[in-house]
Amino acid sequence: MTIKIENLSHSFGKIAALKDISTSIKPKSITVLIGPNAAGKSTLLRCIIGAIRPNSGKVLIDKMPAHKLSARVLAKCAAYVPQRPIVSAAFSVREVVELGRYVLPRNISKVDKALDQLDLTKLEDRAFQNLSVGQQQRVALARAFAQISVNGHLILDEPMSAMDLNYVYKCVDLLRAKAESGATVILALHDLSLAATIADNVLLLDNGKLILSGDVNEVMQPGHLTKVFGIELERVARAGGKDALLVK
């Protein structure tokens, strides 16, 4: 399953959110979108899931334009998690996760596994609306895990922004495992250190333009990031892992 973005541009009124973006998402890997606020990260993710019909250009999912795919077809190949999940009914945690299978055959074991992976089994009867935002983000991730197939796409918009640090790194491990088993993970992050830790590939966006894309070690260079974020950074080598990014 491939995702290709071709000359994608989109405006909200007079504000250009995306400007002529072209790139390919490497399958079975983790691609992270970084950039300052209003860089176009969320808009790009919404174009990928077909929620926005772009003004020009297109996102191709398995060679089909995303905005032309029916919701039913798209749900079978991609799951989406917004930064702030919303459920306006008093559903329990389990009921929300089960809705990930809305157009798919019922699969209790997959729902149970997703709940277990995100440490939600003890919370499964609690009302979603009564959880903290960080817990709600875990539920939304579990719902996405219950939905996607082994080689599906996970499209995540700041999915861990309100989680406790232990859960952030638990999710990092889970997403890594998903990518290694065949899933394509695309996520927007504002935490550059976390991005450097989790990403295989990075798309650096600024003011709606794709500034740079490629391997994490090529893109996450202090020189590139300073130009976009306006802050001095340095890479610090870590034993047995990827380099960390620190503010000077």
Footprint of other proteins (CB under 8 A): 46, 49-51, 70-72, 74-76, 78-82, 85-91, 95, 99-100, 102-104, 129, 140, 143, 147, 155
Nearer to other proteins, 104 or 162 (CB): 104
Sheet containing 153-157: which strands, arranged edge to edge? 78-81, 153-157, 184-188, 30-34, 201-206, 209-215
Nearer to other proteins, 112 or 206 (CB): 112
What is the Cα–Cα distance from 17 to 10, expressed in whole angstroms?
6
Taking the complex as a whole, how short is the minimal distance between the CB of residue 199 and other proteins, in angstroms? 22
Taking the complex as a whole, how short is the minimal distance between the CB of residue 43 and other proteins, in angstroms? 11
CA angle 59, 198, 122 (to 5 degrees): 100
Q: What angle do helix axes 165-180 and 133-147 make, rounded to 10 degrees?
A: 10
Taking the complex as a whole, how short is the minimal distance between the CB of residue 103 and other proteins, in angstroms? 3
Taking the complex as a whole, how short is the minimal distance between the CB of residue 195 and other proteins, in angstroms? 22
CA 111 to chain centre: 20
Nearer to other proteins, 104 or 211 (CB): 104
Nearer to other proteins, 89 or 231 (CB): 89
What is the phi-psi region of residue 165: left when phi exceeds 0, alpha when psi lies from -120 to 50, beta otherwise? alpha
